[in-house]
Amino acid sequence: MAKTDNIQEPAVDTTEQRIFEAAREVFTQKGMDGAKMQEIADRAGINKALLHYYYRSKEKLYEMVARAIVGKMLPTIRQLLESEQAFEDKIRGFIDFYIDIIGRNPFIPLFVITEINKHPERFFETILPKDLPRPEVFFSQVEAEVAAGRIRPIAPQHLLVNMISMCIFPFVAKPMIRILLGMSPGEIRLFLEERKREVTAFMLAGLRP
């Protein structure tokens, strides 16, 4: 509990941080089982023994990395669920910001999904923070919009899941989409960028009364 509790500080390039960054790369690409301490050490440019000097075990190192990654996604979701912003602005803002952050960190969704499915107990007890965003404000907001006739009747839970699905899934399924639709690397990049506009349009169209 002594030093690194919060982990978003800028690059000071200590050995400890180089290890952490190398571990983040390897763990996110290979997963817990596929990652090897040797590869992390090589990528950090140091020796295997040093990994254990700074982080006691592979398990501890993994937990640090996982916590930092999960923590990165929560503020955006909290903003959507808990803020008092106007409904349509919120939808627009969430889609834009969420697709943007995933576009810049495309490894995050698969990492989180894998972790949560393969090791749910560790995820919920050790990695996920306890103060999760609460969806009540957002849900009341949806219900108010429905009651006012500004959007068609829809269950708020399904609305939320539809929106998140359309934002995240294409990044996770990117290689499959590329092959199925016969896109070049440049075309798929453009396609994913377009989705900010497309998902927003589709959400608003799907909600028209």
d(CA 139, CA 96): 20
Q: Considering the complex, what minimum distance in angstroms separates the CB of residue 35 from DNA?
A: 6
15 vs 157, beta carbon nearer DNA: 15
Check binding of 56 to DNA (CB under 7 A): yes
Q: Considering the complex, what minimum distance in angstroms separates the CB of residue 73 from a copy of itself?
A: 10
Binding site partner of 148, from a copy of itself, DNA, none, Cβ cut-off 5-8 A by kind: none
Q: Considering only residues 8-47, where is the footprint of DNA by CB under 7 A?
A: 15, 35-38, 46-47
Q: Three-state SS for 9?
A: coil
Q: Considering the complex, what minimum distance in angstroms separates the CB of residue 64 from DNA?
A: 13
Q: Considering the complex, what minimum distance in angstroms separates the CB of residue 169 from a copy of itself?
A: 4
d(CA 51, CA 16): 9
Residue 72 near residue 127 (C-beta atoms within 8 A): no
Q: Give the footprint of a copy of itself on this chain (CB under 8 A).
A: 29-31, 33-34, 77, 110, 112-114, 116-118, 120, 123-124, 128, 132-133, 135, 152, 154-155, 157-158, 160-162, 164-166, 168-170, 172-173, 175-177, 179-181, 191, 194-195, 198-199, 201-203, 205-208
How many whole angstroms from its chain centre is CA 132? Answer: 14
* Length in residues, the chain: 209
**Cα-atom radius of gyration of the chain, to the nearest Å?**
20
Give the tokens for residue 170: 């294409």
Give the tokens for residue 176: 């499959």
Binding site partner of 24, from DNA, a copy of itself, none, Cβ cut-off 5-8 A by kind: none
How many whole angstroms from its chain centre is CA 13? Answer: 25
